[in-house]
């Protein structure tokens, strides 16, 4: 069982819809990343957070440390948001990264 | 120029061949990582290095070796490639951010196909 679980695995939305992607993890962490991987493969970091909430444009990330849960929200979704979104947690004495399997999002015009 | 550069971006090779994937960075980060990505699986750690003299195995190091030639360079070798090493390989770098959390930067990936 992966210690970082994401849901849903696949998501299709109409342009303009509000989107939520969830990430749950099983052990204590020092921080959590949300990553975006576009077709073609490149991975970029969207957010790093250890508490509360962060916002960048139409993207909002929240984390609840007590519940071991984070969400990534996309408001007013657009086809260019189509990508795989990956949750990664940082934990352990070496601050290692552990990755979820990703959520594949397709936004239809 | 990209902060983290991987070469080659694509490679097709035959079983038994030796392959090297190279990674160089201009971020000035001490920590470097090699991951592989397979469909349906999360990124899995092959090797990591916290400085030039520090090399550590990750969860799937068998069949791979690495060399940290300098702070900016970290190469991954497959001594005798096999088909199940066909995957997308990522190099990444990190440094400790404020509050102890690490900032992570990825290369563009190297797609390896072993026939």
Q: Which of A29-33, A84-88, A89-93, B47-51 has the lowest mean pLDDT?
A: A89-93
Mutation choice for B interface testing from A23, A41, A84 by most B CBs within 10 A: A41
**Helix, strand, coil abundance in chain A, percent, nearest 5:** 5, 60, 35
A31–B42 C-beta distance less than 8 A: no
Phi, psi of A55 (to 5 degrees): -135, 135
Q: pLDDT tens-digit profile of B26-45? A: 988 889 999 999 988 889 99
pLDDT digits (tens, 9 = 90+) for B61-95: 999 999 999 999 999 999 999 999 999 999 999 88
| Residue with more model confidence, B112 or B50 | B112
> Strands (DSSP E) along B3-101, which ranges?
4-7, 10-13, 19-25, 31-37, 44-51, 54-57, 65-70, 73-78, 87-96
Residues of A in contact with B88 (CB under 8 A): 41
Question: Which of the four pLDDT bands, split at 50, 70 and 90, describes residue B98?
Answer: low
Query: Which residues in chain B are closer than 8 Å to A31, comparing Cβ atoms?
Result: 97, 99-102
pLDDT score for A39: 82
A41-100 pLDDT per residue, tens? 789 999 999 899 999 999 999 999 999 999 999 999 999 999 999 999 988 777 788 999
Instruction: Please check whether residue A43 touches B, CB under 8 A.
Output: yes
Cα distance between residue A97 and residue B104, in whole Å? 9
Residue whose tokens read 């951010």: B97
Check whether B100 has a pLDDT greater than 60: no
CB contact at 8 A, A62 and A71: yes
Taking CA atoms, B13 is separated from A86, B9, B17, B62, B78, in Å, by 29, 13, 7, 19, 11
Of all residues in chain A, the one with the smallest CA distance to B38 is: A101
Quote the tokens at residue B86: 């066909």
B10 in contact with A, Cβ within 8 Å: no
pLDDT number for residue A96 = 82
Q: Confirm or reject contact between A84 and chain B (CB < 8 A).
A: no
Cβ pair B42:A100 closer than 8 A? yes
Asked if A11 has any chain B CB less than 8 Å from its own CB, the reply is: no
């Amino acid at each position: 069982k992966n210690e970082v679980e994401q849901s849903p695995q696949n998501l299709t939305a109409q342009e303009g819809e509000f989107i939520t992607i969830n990430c749950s993890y099983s052990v204590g962490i020092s921080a959590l990343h949300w990553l975006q991987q576009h077709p073609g493969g490149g991975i970029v970091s969207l957010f790093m957070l250890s508490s509360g909430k962060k916002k960048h444009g139409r993207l909002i990330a929240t984390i609840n440390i007590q519940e071991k849960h984070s969400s990534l929200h996309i408001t007013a979704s657009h086809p260019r948001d189509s990508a795989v979104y990956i949750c990664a947690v940082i934990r352990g004495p070496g601050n290692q990264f552990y990755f979820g399997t990703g959520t594949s999002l397709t936004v239809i015009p | 120029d990209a902060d983290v550069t991987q070469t080659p971006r694509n490679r097709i090779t035959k079983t038994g061949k030796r392959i090297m994937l190279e990674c160089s960075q201009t971020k000035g980060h001490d920590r470097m990582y090699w991951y592989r990505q397979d469909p349906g699986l999360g990124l899995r750690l092959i090797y990591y290095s916290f400085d030039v003299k520090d090399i550590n195995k990750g969860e799937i190091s068998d069949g791979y070796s690495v060399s940290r030639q300098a702070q900016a360079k970290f190469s991954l070798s497959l001594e005798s490639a096999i088909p199940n090493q066909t995957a997308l390989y990522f190099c990444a770098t990190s440094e400790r951010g404020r509050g102890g959390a690490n900032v992570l930067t990825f290369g563009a990936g190297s797609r390896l196909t072993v026939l």
